[in-house]
Amino acid sequence: MATAPTKAKAYLKDGCPFSFKFWLFMVEAGLAGQIEIIRCNENDPNFERSKEKLSAALGKPASFPTVEIARGRYESDSDRLIAHYASQAGIDVKQLPLLAFYKETILPQVEELHSMKEPDQ
């Protein structure tokens, strides 16, 4: 008896502009049904444990989004993940107007604000 393939698990951090960019792509491209979303919130008591799990799997500090693309195979970096799923589905990312709008207008503003933020003390 064949078992159903396991969905990829996407770890998205609440409030993370890169997690949002990846999720926006998946929704706009019609691929959201291919992944299971696991929301990670810094206020959740399990957040640090999730980050440790992702760090161990990635072999480097955890970053968001991170997707378990296949059992035991984790990838991070929103642009690489978008390229991966776009390539698999034959999607031209340049043809996605919402993603383009976000990347060209909102994301640069968020990145600028983030760079001005004082480091945690």
38 within a domain of the structure (yes/no) = yes
Q: What is the pLDDT of residues 27-58, one digit of tens each?
A: 999 999 999 999 999 999 999 999 999 999 99
Model pTM score: 0.89
Tell me the C-alpha to C-alpha distance, in Å, between residue 25 and each of 76, 79, 106, 118, 120. Answer: 15, 10, 15, 30, 31
39 within a domain of the structure (yes/no) = yes
Which domain covers residue 19, as residue numbers? 8-116
As for how many domains the chain has, the answer is: 1
3 within a domain of the structure (yes/no) = no
**Residue 42's CATH number:** 3.40.30.10
Q: What is the pLDDT of residues 72-91, one digit of tens each?
A: 999 999 999 999 999 999 99
Beta-carbon contacts of 34 under 8 Å, excluding residues fewer than 6 positions away, are 7, 8, 26, 85
